[in-house]
């Protein structure tokens, strides 16, 4: 049983500059969502960060809200929170797979997202995972985002010297007949 196993948890991420996260939550199961949010807030605050919160109707809307916030706001990272409990139809599989896939794709594009959307068989499993005093998956999602932010800042600050530069850092000069030159 997973509850009896021990797991290694990374030490809390530390920051020299302020960090701000957006908690995006689908409060379909309000009590479970409230526990996830409580865990996320506590973890962000313990790391010295601040947070804002956005509620969306369901787990499928969580990635869309994160993408919108990334385009229009200035957050360092995101905690995606919600709960999907298996029902009698295949809708469960669609919601679980599509929300997770969208979050993963945004992460691969460089967004710092901790995925705390619970995908469970029953309410009891959700309650245990959401409880800040038990498995604290909301806190875990925030911690994951914070660790990714720390890595992003570490690696983003080391652009000078060796390594590849993204095209946005290259300066294009007016070229000769062979086309533009990169300096």
What pLDDT, in 10s, does the model give residues 99-119? Answer: 999 999 999 999 999 999 999
Is 5 contained in some domain?
A: no
3-state secondary structure 119-182: EECCHHHHHHHHCCCCCCHHHHHHHHHHHHHHHHHHHHCCCCCCCCCCHHHCCEEEEECCEEEE
In the numeric block, which tokens belong to residue 48?
């010295």
Is 115 contained in some domain?
A: yes
Q: How many domains does the chain have?
A: 1
Is 108 contained in some domain?
A: yes
In the numeric block, which tokens belong to residue 144?
């994951």
Report pLDDT digits (tens) over 7-47.
899 999 999 999 999 999 999 999 999 999 999 999 999 99
pLDDT band at 183 (very low <50, low <70, confident <90, very high): very low
Question: The domain that contains 115 carries what CATH number?
Answer: 3.40.50.960
Q: State the Cα angle at 17 between 159 and 136, rounded to 5°.
A: 105
Is 172 contained in some domain?
A: yes
Structural domain of 33: 15-182
pLDDT value, residue 4: 74
Active-site option among 10, 46, 57, 91: 91
Is 8 contained in some domain?
A: no
Q: Is 82 exposed, middle or buried (0-12, 13-18, 19+ CB in 10 A)?
A: buried
pLDDT value, residue 6: 86
In this prediction, what percent of the chain has a pLDDT beyond 70?
84
Is 141 contained in some domain?
A: yes
- Please enumerate in sequence order all residues whose Cβ is within 8 A of that of 111, keeping only pairs 6 or more positions apart, or say none: 66, 70, 77, 78
Task: State the average pLDDT over residues 72-85.
Answer: 98
Is 140 contained in some domain?
A: yes
Is 93 contained in some domain?
A: yes
Is 91 a residue of the active site?
yes
């Amino acid at each position: 049983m997973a509850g009896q196993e021990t797991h290694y948890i990374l030490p809390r991420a530390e920051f020299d500059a302020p960090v701000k996260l957006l908690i995006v939550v689908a409060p379909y199961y309000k009590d479970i969502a409230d526990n996830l949010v409580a865990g996320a807030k506590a973890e962000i605050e313990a790391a010295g960060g601040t947070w804002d919160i956005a509620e969306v109707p369901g787990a499928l809307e969580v990635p869309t809200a994160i993408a919108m916030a990334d385009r229009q706001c200035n957050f360092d990272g995101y905690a995606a929170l919600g709960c999907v409990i298996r029902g009698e139809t295949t809708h469960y599989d669609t919601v679980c797979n599509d929300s997770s896939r969208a979050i993963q794709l945004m992460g691969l594009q460089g967004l710092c997202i901790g995925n705390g959307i619970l995908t469970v068989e029953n309410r009891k499993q959700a309650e245990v995972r959401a409880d800040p005093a038990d498995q604290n998956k909301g806190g875990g999602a925030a911690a994951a985002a914070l660790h990714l932010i720390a890595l992003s800042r570490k690696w983003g600050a080391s652009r000078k010297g060796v390594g590849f530069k993204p095209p946005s850092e290259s300066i294009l000069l007016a070229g000769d007949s062979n086309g533009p030159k990169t300096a």
